[in-house]
Structure 1
Amino acid sequence: MEQIHVVLHPAPLQGHIKPMLCLAQLLSKAGFHATFLVTHHTFKLLPDLTALSANFPNLHFQSISDGLPEDHSRALEFGSFSKIKPYFKHFLLNYSLGDNSMSPPLTCIITDQYLPYTLDTAKELGIPIFSFVSHSACYLLAYLNISKLIEQGDHIPFPDDNMNQEINGVAGLEGLLRRKHLPSYCALKDIAQNPQIQSHLKDIFDLKGCCGLIINTFDELEITILPQVATHFQKVYKVGPLHALSNSKINQNLSHLVASHASRWQADQSCIAWLDSQPLRSVLYVSFGSHAKASVSQILEFWHGLVNSGKPFLWVLRPDVIIGEDGKHVIPKELHQVGAKENGFLVDWAPQEHVLAHHAIGGFLTHCGWNSILESIVAKIPLICWSYDWDQMINAELVSKVLEIGLQLDACDRLTIQRTVQTMMGSKREELQNSIERISECAQHVIGNGGSSNQNLETLVEDIKNIKLNSQHDE
């Protein structure tokens, strides 16, 4: 049989690229010809992705235009990815259907959930397509129910400004879903007639027509939610935590290589030497991920809260995390004063998986991105949640209220930050540690031999093989 060829196409966001790159590794290790397709802009930001092909001979990288000028901000907004569609279609027609002698004909596509143009294109060209979700199932389930909530008329549009109001009637999210967890457009009075929003909701509905949903989670993590998600799709492949699943199947040195190549920033390895000098479970790791922004005043409140907590901390401050009033990136001078940061260590970027696995780390103050939550669970590190946007809001509820493996940061003032850090690293430490160790054991089980995520990956591989066999029979 001719080699199976899968094109994997992530949204041009770091939090989406890394888990899909882990999946691409796993499929390439299964013997598939895996083409990882990103935009030209993304390809330039990531450090030499093609170097990975030396270690994964079946993994190949290609890039296409995103249809935007070089100096475009590429801010996330409605329709921001739509200009990619003609370039994606051209790529499929001229490269991946077998016209290119360097690759076998295309078997199927695995697309990011946030790229609806891929579903239209695949349908037009008659190519089987799977949808990949890099965030939590609880966030996906909330989105899948927006149209239903609009039709019911009780919850959407929001009748008042109480964003903490609980939303009832969504099976699987009882007691969890609140207005603040839904997109801001749910407050618009004309939501049912707004063509842009209705088009967006149609894109969500169209996901149900794909061959299956691949999601970076596992049963025990979202136990009441995943059965409800499964009712919306032909098939659901729960293959998380993908970073741990891929690490379990490849050389550990290569896993660090993959993590570094999925990041647009070069990790500062000096923080590991600093951690080596710190006592067991004494350090709070602080990182707001690859996308979250903060004002100068917010950063200063975090700074004073962390310093006043008296706990050692390793803080990742991306060069672009702070935006001043003039729109420029600025780092407050207070953060550079040596005397004020005797118990802190600051870096532009850190090798997060390596850091979380270090014996000195005792807690993680995070923006609550799904990758960070999964990495923290695998490393058995309790969390403090400062959610920023998107799925992070409902993730924080899941972490603190359902799984009970972390605390929510209720306000962004120095005293609240100080007290929350002291509580998590002190009186609540043992309770949170016990909870996250139980969840971590489940994560280790699902990626092991006979584990559900491992089996779901094997099922996905077999289902893709059957697509190839069926297409050959049709010929």
Structure 2
Amino acid sequence: MCSENSQLHIFFLPNLAHGHMIPMVEIAKLVASRGVMATIVTTPLNVPLVSRTISTCTKINILTIKFPSAEVDLPEGCEFFDSNTPLHMMPRFMKASSLLQDPLEQLLSAYHPDCFVADAFFTWATTAAAKFNIPRLVFQGTSFFALCALECIRLYEPQKNVSSDSETFVIPNFPDEIKLTRMQLPVIARTSQDSEFIAKLFKVVSDSEEMSFGVLVNSFYELEPAYADHYRKVLGRKAWHIGPVSLYNNEEKAKRGNESSIAENDCLKWLDSKKPDSVVYVCFGSLTKFNDSQLREIALGLEAAGQQFIWVVKKGENNKEEKEEWLPEGFEKRIEGRGLIIRGWAPQVLILDHEAVGGFVTHCGWNSTLEGVAAGVSMITWPGAFEQFYNEKLVTEVLKIGVSLGDKTCDGPLGVSITSEALEKALNRIMVGDEAMEIRSRVKAFAEKARQALKEGGSSYSDLNALIEELAATSKHK
């Protein structure tokens, strides 16, 4: 590694939610492995989460800035957005994020790093960095496919040309013919007055990105080449693909995110007793939280399918004595040995990477989707909100490495309703038969390409090198 990289210093400001924080901290570890000094800026209550993830990295520092809870009427100690945070608090979190600009500028002035990487939703970051002549990189926590879809729909508004929420339209100016309905769009792209505020926010996000030094994307070129090219060459965005970052530092898989709700050894011991590709992993990310009736449908579908499974359930994780009325009577006894329920946080990458896991029921958040790809695991797609419906289209129609649970509409972070029969059918489709074998073969091929991308000379390795060299050259000419 070029010795001049040791002179580079990069600031990282992750958004205060698991899906944003985990990959950005891993990017900080990745650049630190190339001899670059990295500093993660976060709030006091989030320091333990960051610290346990970077425990072995000596070239990463942590600086804190106060989270303005009182200024936006958030409860004291509410510095992180997850499934237990009431949805009505989201606008307050967004307001609090905007108030981080002043203390962050004080740090930029004091330390004057060579680059400032900030989450896409910190729209003020480009202006803040420009005050100190510091290049700002945008971290976009989703796929090139979703980024292209979001921008094309924002620019051309095809959803306004259909007469109902269920009528399909084609995404304009897109590499593949992808059909959507209005109800499959993130709330930001719908036409209701409710979404006007969010639509304006995403316009600001797009403008901030366009004025920035460039965009970091947690993906690899071989996964979505047409969309990486479209984003850069057609939409004109400067971007570097550097993923999958979940493959970096494999020895610390269990330390990602919260403390696990199950002992690592217990989980591995259970998986070790299973045959290769025989277990389905069922998990819906850090925000999705289902009601009792939907949890019951999932339980019934898992039982009826007869497949072995690990099911991550958030319901009741804060109250261990809570009566679990969603659980069918006698369910755990009937699935004993065949199924494992994890109540709370699971070591997801550790589980997906185990040879016994052959299927993944996922909400299609990009972190989970890419982790499934990197592990070579076939997917059942169950998107619920945000850009997850776009990622589902990439998985099922472009890459053909998963199957959809059927017609769904975007109901927000609580997810969408699915019957036990639909789940049972999809589980058997992804685990048994010729189609299952074809899908598994395709996703395992992508997993190998993901590993190659991160090796010296690989596409992601080379893109990160190019970025570091460009930042070093920029720093010299200041």
**Which residue is 2:461 aligned to?**
454
1:247-301 Cα offsets, whole Å, 9 max, x none, are 3xxxx43x33xx5143365553222111111222211111111111111111111
Given that 2:159 and 2:190 are in contact with CA atoms closer than 8 Å, whether structure 1 keeps it comes out as no
**Which residue is 1:66 aligned to?**
67
Q: TM-score, normalised by structure 2?
A: 0.85
* C-alpha separation in 1, matches of 2:333 and 2:116: 54
* C-alpha separation in 1, matches of 2:288 and 2:305: 23
1:13-56 Cα offsets, whole Å, 9 max, x none, are 11111111111001112222211122334336x2xx33555521
**Which residue is 1:101 aligned to?**
none
**Which residue is 2:17 aligned to?**
13
Task: Write the mapping of 1:316-355 to structure 2, written as runs, cut at 5 A.
Answer: 316-319=312-315, 332-334=326-328, 337-342=331-336, 343-348=338-343, 349-355=345-351
* C-alpha separation in 1, matches of 2:179 and 2:318: 31
* C-alpha separation in 2, matches of 1:119 and 1:159: 39
* C-alpha separation in 1, matches of 2:377 and 2:244: 15
Of 37, 43, 46, which residue of structure 1 is paired with 2:41? Answer: 37
* C-alpha separation in 1, matches of 2:293 and 2:218: 35
1:73-126 Cα offsets, whole Å, 9 max, x none, are 464745732323343432331x3434xxxxx53211001112212223223443
Partner SS for 1:358: coil
* C-alpha separation in 1, matches of 2:62 and 2:314: 26
Residue 396 of structure 2 is aligned to residue 400 of structure 1: yes
Structure 1 residue 202, shift from structure 2 partner: 2.8
AA paired with 1:62?
L
* C-alpha separation in 1, matches of 2:148 and 2:369: 18
Task: Write the mapping of 1:161-176 to structure 2, written as runs, cut at 5 A.
Answer: 161-162=165-166, 165-176=168-179
Structure 1 residue 157, shift from structure 2 partner: 7.3
AA paired with 2:238?
K
AA paired with 2:102?
K
Structure 1 residue 57, shift from structure 2 partner: 1.1
Task: Write the mapping of 1:405-416 to structure 2, written as runs, cut at 5 A.
Answer: 405-410=401-406, 412-416=418-422
* C-alpha separation in 1, matches of 2:388 and 2:318: 19
* C-alpha separation in 1, matches of 2:447 and 2:18: 24
Q: 1:265 to 1:233 in 2, by over 3 A?
A: farther
Task: Write the mapping of 1:114-153 to structure 2, written as runs, cut at 5 A.
Answer: 114-150=121-157
AA paired with 1:332?
W
Structure 1 residue 335, shift from structure 2 partner: 7.0
Given that 1:216 and 1:241 are in contact with CA atoms closer than 8 Å, whether structure 2 keeps it comes out as yes
* C-alpha separation in 2, matches of 1:375 and 1:217: 10
AA paired with 1:108?
C
* C-alpha separation in 2, matches of 1:335 and 1:211: 57
AA paired with 1:214?
L
Sequence identity percentage = 24
Q: TM-score, normalised by structure 1?
A: 0.85
AA paired with 1:394?
Y
Structure 1 residue 459, shift from structure 2 partner: 0.8
Given that 1:292 and 1:321 are in contact with CA atoms closer than 8 Å, whether structure 2 keeps it comes out as no
AA paired with 1:170?
N
AA paired with 2:340?
F
* C-alpha separation in 2, matches of 1:195 and 1:347: 37
* C-alpha separation in 2, matches of 1:51 and 1:441: 29
Q: How many residues align?
A: 445
Q: 1:241 to 1:196 in 2, by over 3 A?
A: closer
**Higher mean C-alpha deviation, range 69-78 or range 118-127:** 69-78
Residue 285 of structure 2 is aligned to residue 285 of structure 1: no
1:326-354 Cα offsets, whole Å, 9 max, x none, are xx995634377432322211112322222
1:195-219 Cα offsets, whole Å, 9 max, x none, are 6633431332221111011101122
Residue 421 of structure 2 is aligned to residue 420 of structure 1: no
* C-alpha separation in 2, matches of 1:114 and 1:362: 34
* C-alpha separation in 2, matches of 1:126 and 1:92: 12
Residue 215 of structure 2 is aligned to residue 218 of structure 1: no
**Which residue is 1:113 aligned to?**
120
Given that 2:105 and 2:128 are in contact with CA atoms closer than 8 Å, whether structure 1 keeps it comes out as no
Given that 1:39 and 1:65 are in contact with CA atoms closer than 8 Å, whether structure 2 keeps it comes out as yes
Task: Write the mapping of 1:167-316 to structure 2, written as runs, cut at 5 A.
Answer: 167-188=170-191, 194=196, 197-231=199-233, 232-233=235-236, 235-244=238-247, 246-247=248-249, 252-253=250-251, 255-256=252-253, 260-263=255-258, 265-269=260-264, 270-316=266-312
Task: Write the mapping of 1:22-33 to structure 2, written as runs, cut at 5 A.
Answer: 22-33=26-37
**Which residue is 1:359 aligned to?**
355
Runs of 5+ consecutive residues of structure 1 not aligned to the other structure = 99-103
Given that 2:165 and 2:183 are in contact with CA atoms closer than 8 Å, whether structure 1 keeps it comes out as no
Given that 1:9 and 1:111 are in contact with CA atoms closer than 8 Å, whether structure 2 keeps it comes out as yes
**Which residue is 2:410 aligned to?**
none
RMSD between aligned residues: 2.8
Q: 1:320 to 1:229 in 2, by over 3 A?
A: farther
AA paired with 2:354?
H
Given that 1:304 and 1:414 are in contact with CA atoms closer than 8 Å, whether structure 2 keeps it comes out as yes
Given that 1:383 and 1:407 are in contact with CA atoms closer than 8 Å, whether structure 2 keeps it comes out as yes
* C-alpha separation in 1, matches of 2:383 and 2:323: 21
Given that 2:186 and 2:387 are in contact with CA atoms closer than 8 Å, whether structure 1 keeps it comes out as no
Q: 1:321 to 1:374 in 2, by over 3 A?
A: farther
Q: 1:320 to 1:39 in 2, by over 3 A?
A: farther
* C-alpha separation in 1, matches of 2:317 and 2:156: 35
**Which residue is 2:373 aligned to?**
377
Partner SS for 2:281: strand
Partner SS for 1:224: helix
Given that 1:299 and 1:322 are in contact with CA atoms closer than 8 Å, whether structure 2 keeps it comes out as no
